[in-house]
Amino acid sequence: MPRKKTAPAPIQGDHPVRAKIDFRLLAGGTAVLALLIFAVDLLTPLGVAVGVLYTTLVVLAMWSPHRRFIFFVAAGVSILTLFDVFLSHDDANWMVMSNRLLSLFTIWIAAVLSFLLKRDQQERERLILDLQDSLDHIKTLRGLLPVCVSCKKVRNGQGYWKSIDTYVSERAETQITHGICPDCFTHYYPTTVEPNVAAK
């Protein structure tokens, strides 16, 4: 009996409703964590590079189905990093500015790398889907093939007898044409000088 074709396993995150819910949770969680880091940054001296913690939010943005969300998070936390300088009562000396620049540099390096990794991941997932779709269209013949010794019909898995043309065309990307070989031509048409093999 022919083997049943099994459906390909779905790729994680391909369900539209689930992906939408996951994105909302991710965006909300990212916003809450950003505000917490911003509060910690306000309570600590400007000389401490608390802004480096924002890079974790940029990396977490890779879980979003939208690649642009990574740059959106990077831009948002960059604004928070600079905004803390204006809200603080401490003097912004060269060490403070160097720490802020270091935080911004780390944030955007993480954003670019995360964007490239996310793009490669989506391309791999798209390639897997294309391969699965191609495999779904490939039809093969396996196992024993019951053929009638008289009429040459083939019995399928449901017990019905079909012509070999129909059976093969249903299971392979092939169409059968009919002609006559030289031996059969000589046997059935012995008076004809040259065989003319014609397709039906």
Please say which residue of 107, 136, 165 terminates a domain: 136
Any domain includes 10:
no
> Do 38 and 98 lie in a common domain?
yes
Any domain includes 6:
no
Burial of 99 (C-beta count, 10 Å sphere; 0-12/13-18/19+): buried
* Secondary structure (3-state) at 167: helix
> Do 100 and 161 lie in a common domain?
no
Q: How many domains does the chain have?
A: 2
Would the pLDDT of 158 be above 60? yes
Would the pLDDT of 176 be above 60? yes
95-106 pLDDT, tens per residue? Answer: 778 888 888 999
> Do 171 and 97 lie in a common domain?
no
Domain of 152 in residue numbering reads as 142-200
Q: Which of 78-92, 95-109, 174-188 has the highest mean predicted lDDT (pLDDT)?
A: 95-109
Q: How high is the pLDDT of residue 14?
A: 47
Contact assessment for residue 82 and residue 92, using Cβ atoms and an 8 Å cutoff: no
Q: Which of 6-10, 43-47, 70-74, 168-172 has the highest mean predicted lDDT (pLDDT)?
A: 70-74
Whole-angstrom Cα distance, residue 182 to residue 196? 9
Whole-angstrom Cα distance, residue 79 to residue 128? 38
With left for phi above 0 and alpha for psi between -120 and 50, is residue 39 left, alpha or beta? Answer: alpha
pLDDT-above-70 percentage for the chain: 74
Please say which residue of 92, 120, 136 terminates a domain: 136
* Secondary structure (3-state) at 32: helix
Q: What is the mean pLDDT of the chain?
A: 77
The tally of CA atoms less than 13 A away on the side-chain side of residue 106 is 18
> Do 45 and 92 lie in a common domain?
yes
Contact assessment for residue 100 and residue 82, using Cβ atoms and an 8 Å cutoff: yes
